[in-house]
Amino acid sequence: MIDAQFALVLNLHQPPGNLEGMLQRGDWAAKEILWAIDRIPRALWDYEDVGRVHLSVSGTLLETLADPKFQHDAYGIVDCGSLLWHLQNTRIIQILGTAYYHPVLPLIPAQDWDEQLGRWLGIARHLFNRPEFRGFWPPEMGFCMQLIPTLRRAGYRYVLVDSEHVEAVTPMRWEELRYRPHWARFGGEEIIVVVRDRELSDAQESGLDAGWFIQEVGARTKFCDFPPLVTTATDGDNGGWFRNTSMPNNFWGCFYHDLLERVRSKQSAGIRPAFIDDYLDAHGAEGEVRIRTGAWNTGWHSGTGFVQWTGSGPQREALERVAQVSQAVHAAWSKAAGCGSDDSRLYQLLGDAHWRVLRAETSCNFFWGDAWVQRCNDDLDVACWLLGEAATRF
């Protein structure tokens, strides 16, 4: 019998205004998404003894769910206020930190990283009523080693990375590399990295059953001479597998409840759901790794080279413009501070310009092709106008 701990991670994200727009248009998908999110805590209520789920919820989705107007419009579909309350159940749910506007962090200016992380912490501390979040979910699992000092400044203990991009610095076997947390170091800082199993995550996304999962985990961890941590991570509100309203035919009823029943009856071959923090408290991290810059796999893209977000000319041009306008905003902030201005209107203009840049960095603006790239450019256009107004006040 194996003794594997299973960390289930689900990512929840909707770009700014998207869910609101779908709901106003009467798009059936809006109801499916809301039900899929609301289903998560409800599916776990009867399994508080064994169920464990990590959730990453983008700042833009939290903003939508907490908006009184949206709550009013969605009432009768989902009670968003109650949903946010249910997500605070720490017996079954651990919230992971992330970046507010869900950017692919290695693709945006590093000077915006602190603000993306800080804004998410601001809304999450308020809505979830806690001072800190220990684990970090990089949007789209887009990671580079240069992020480590930023994550440590924000107080994170560990970060999730995709198995495709992990390289051993300390010699280790394949199963050690994938099923044990490690240390990664950059710029005098270090952080624990928890490795997402890409193949098991692909199965989780498309549909699996508990029997197959137990057998596959057993085969993958049979040579482990340590307690393995098996981590899967997918979106939790996209695709028919998660949106299906029939419990016997969706992720929760077909797979996860069956697994939990087997855990309760000790028929899961030693596999049991766990929180990553609990595993780290008991077993810590071993060895050092290096993470190649990359993201998780989507569709037919591997995540190497960020082709999903940089594959076309308009995508690359928009990203270059993001960098240029971001630099201009930061330069204006520095100029205002340098001259000791006390003009409140000036700082309001600069703050609004920076907000537009941060929103322009949303990953969906690039992932969904040329049609969505215009959303990025629209925000950058407004940011440039605001900078022009601010320049008249120096």
Give 197-240 pLDDT, tens digit per residue.
Answer: 999 999 999 899 999 999 999 999 999 999 999 999 999 999 99
d(CA 230, CA 68) in angstroms, rounded, equals 39
The token duo for 322 is: 């993001």
| Percent of the chain topping pLDDT 70 | 100
For the chain, the average pLDDT equals 96
pLDDT of residue 168: 98
Please give the residue that has the higher pLDDT: either 122 or 339.
122
Sequential DSSP letters for 84-138: HHHTT-TTTEEEEB--TT---GGGS-GGGHHHHHHHHHHHHHHHHT-S---EE--
pLDDT of residue 370: 81
- Residue among 178, 175, 177, 136 at smallest CA distance from 159: 136
**DSSP label at 288?**
B
Q: Decide the pairing of beta strands 289-291 and 166-168.
A: antiparallel
Pick the CATH number of 5-305 from 1.10.520.10, 3.40.190.10, 3.20.110.20, 3.40.50.720: 3.20.110.20
Where exactly are the structural domains of the chain?
5-305, 311-391
pLDDT of residue 341: 81
Residues 149-175: tens digit of each pLDDT:
999 999 999 999 999 999 999 999 999
pLDDT tops 80 at residue 316 = yes
Q: Structure pTM?
A: 0.97
Residues 252-309: tens digit of each pLDDT:
999 999 999 999 999 999 999 999 999 999 999 999 999 999 999 988 888 899 999 9
| Percent of the chain topping pLDDT 90 | 94
pLDDT of residue 371: 83
Q: 309 — phi, psi (to 5°)? A: -110, -5
- Residue among 108, 6, 88 at smallest CA distance from 50: 6
